[in-house]
Amino acid sequence: MTDNLLTTPFGARTTAAEVLADIDLSGRRAIVTGGASGIGRETARLLAAAGAEVTIGVRDLATGVQVAEEIAPANGPGTVDAAPLDLADQKSVHAFVAAWRGPLHILVLNAGVMASPLERTKEGWEMQFATNHLGHFALATGLHSALAAAHGARVVAVSSVGHVNGGVVFDDTNFEQRPYDPWAAYSQSKTANVLFAVEAGRRWASDLIAVNALNPGRITSTRLGRHIGDISNSPASFDPTSTDVSWKNIEQGAATSVLLAASPLVEGVTGRYFEDCNEAGPHRPGVRRGVAAHAVDLHNAARLWQVSLDMLATVSTAA
């Protein structure tokens, strides 16, 4: 964390369209994971409306193609297409990376699962950590050369205020030695998103790749909360009466993502955590804002990077 926090004219009620007003992304190429619904769809739609060539990574290709057709600009240089991508399946991630050609200017790591029942990948990895972190880690590192070729690329990791509830338990990331708690697993995976931004920002600065993480706010009407059911089933810290975390609609929820993906206001900024279109300060106990110390700890960030490499090294991605 820096002592001087970056601020912008935007805030919690700003929409993504307002952030991208008058920004021309013609000639830029972007990938948005989870771009078929929610804030991912809005992010992809507006990047394309600004002129970018956008690929949405989707598990259901038929649905993805339909969404791409719906959100593609009616005219202008921007385009939207869809490609199969299952972040919980390393073969799928590998195939997506292998199929990519040319430079990549914007990578928005948006897809995610929240508070799901215990499920494991075929490698035995806990599903939230595997999807929210490892899948995105493999995607971003696999696309590193394409990002470097853009000479000024941006990577955006969508985290959550939920990261403040707990860090990465390095000795038991997959809940093999402790009882499974869906919210603890979610918090761990969202902390991992921030730690990734911290370490990737450090490692890739010389390649002119900016990497930042964000809390989009508590977004209404998305599929992310499908495992929760009624809001009363979520922990007290997510109580809808709380004024600590901003509740937003989808148009507002995508604003911080597109700010980090395309705004000149954050040019050259890397390794930081944002909320409500501004850099977040340190988290304070009892407040649902800010970035937790465990999520920006340099030792934790470096350790997670190596742990992630070690885990992926055990996987065969052969066809």
Q: Tell me which DSSP letter residue 120 carries.
A: B
Beta carbons of 8 and 277 less than 8 angstroms apart = yes
273 is catalytic: no
Catalytic residue (one of 125, 175, 186, 273): 186
What is the rounded distance in angstroms from the CA atom of residue 173 to the CA atom of residue 170? Answer: 6
Beta strands 273-275; 278-279: pairing state: antiparallel
The b/e string for 91-121 (b: 16+ C-beta within 10 A; e otherwise) is: ebbbbbbeebeebbbbbbbbbbbbbbeeeeb
Calpha distance 6→272 (Å, rounded): 10
DSSP track, 37-78: SHHHHHHHHHHHHTT-EEEEEESSHHHHHHHHHHHS-SSSS-
Instruction: Check if the beta carbon of residue 227 is closer than 8 Å to that of residue 171.
Output: no
Question: Annotated active-site positions, please?
Answer: 186
